[in-house]
Chain A
Amino acid sequence: GDSVTQMEGPVTLSEEAFLTINCTYTATGYPSLFWYVQYPGEGLQLLLKATKADDKGSNKGFEATYRKETTSFHLEKGSVQVSDSAVYFCALSEGGADGLTFGKGTHLIIQP
């Protein structure tokens, strides 16, 4: 079945540091890929998505590129802020009624 693997946290960085959160996936077809963010006490919010190979999703300074050859969708940001502290989830969808398959989440902590 489909699965998503992302790096375990917590990841602790200083403000203005470069961020990479790794995500790899296994799927039977050609899924769409997503990054969601969950701030404390809130639900998940869509951060960005990519629907086919070599697509780059971007939002709020975050970027991720759909790499079919390495089955990866790593999340990057050039300069993180304290307000980026949250849990980040990588997810995939192959359509149908199964919704999204999520990774286990990466807790990101940004220190001032």
Chain B
Amino acid sequence: DTAVSQTPKYLVTQMGNDKSIKCEQNLGHDTMYWYKQDSKKFLKIMFSYNNKELIINETVPNRFSPKSPDKAHLNLHINSLELGDSAVYFCASSQAQGQNSPLHFGNGTRLTVT
């Protein structure tokens, strides 16, 4: 069973479109995250959600909006897509916010904006 699953795996779209990426975890974890990985493999945290409450937002444009219908899901909506949004987006979850709680990652969604 996949612990953290995200769909789609690949997403190709044009500038100006609106798209969503879905994420689900079956680990019973309390906290979920979205990370962006650029072409140089650098990982930057975008959001984290704990018990359906947004905890942080790391200077991400408001075109990006996380939505969590329940504890097991954290979807990412992106409006008015731009070329610079092209990247791999990773969903992750952890059991708690404690520093000893490792993150479990999905396999990523490669977004290409043309």
The interface of chain A, by Cβ under 8 A from chain B, is 31-32, 34, 36, 38, 41-46, 49, 51, 87, 89, 93-100, 102, 104-105, 107
Contacts and interface: CB of A to CB of B under 8 A. Distances in A.
Interface of B: 4, 31, 33, 35, 40-43, 45, 48, 50, 55-56, 90, 92, 94, 97-108
B105 A45 contact: yes
29 contacts: A31-B99, A32-B99, A32-B100, A36-B105, A41-B107, A43-B92, A44-B43, A44-B90, A44-B92, A49-B102, A51-B99, A87-B41, A93-B100, A95-B97, A95-B98, A95-B99, A96-B99, A97-B31, A97-B48, A97-B55, A98-B45, A98-B48, A99-B33, A99-B35, A99-B48, A99-B94, A102-B43, A104-B42, A105-B43
B51 to A, nearest CB: 11
